[in-house]
Amino acid sequence: MDAKTRELVAVAASMAGGCEDCLKQHVAAARRVGACAEELHEAVDIGRAVALRVKLGFDALAETLLQEEELVVVSTGCGCGSDCGCEKGA
């Protein structure tokens, strides 16, 4: 992957991850290696789309879980080291 493509990917990832410092650094680096304004806008738009998809996906999951009569427990045990429903191993 060439340097410009790598920095444009980093711009999109920074945008999706919501990392302000990363975004500033990678936009500057992308400009240094020849990215034009149109390419930077496209990378930012891709990052926005990913971030929005993640947020909407989690929102939809939360709504689905709230509609269920019984909540699904993903982990086993309470963290005390045994598979129980206890108060820390009691």
Per-residue pLDDT of the chain (90 residues; tens, 9 = 90+): 999 999 999 999 999 999 999 999 999 999 999 999 999 999 999 999 999 888 888 888 888 888 876 665 565 555 566 656 666 555
CA separation for the pair 59, 86 (Å, rounded): 31
Determine the Cα–Cα distance for residues 56 and 23; give it in Å rounded to an integer: 22
Dihedral angle computed from the Cα positions of residues 52, 58, 60 and 61, in that order, rounded to the nearest 10 degrees: 160
pLDDT of residue 80: 63
- pTM, rounded to two decimals: 0.66
Question: Where are the domains positioned within the chain?
Answer: 3-67
Looking at residue 54, its pLDDT comes to 84
State the sign of the Cα–Cα–Cα–Cα dihedral 81, 86, 88, 90: negative
Q: Does domain 3-67 fall into CATH 2.60.120.10?
A: no
Instruction: For residues 20 and 4, give the distance between their C-alpha atoms in angstroms, rounded to a whole number.
Output: 20
Buried b (16+ CB within 10 A) or exposed e, 80-89: eeeeeeeeee
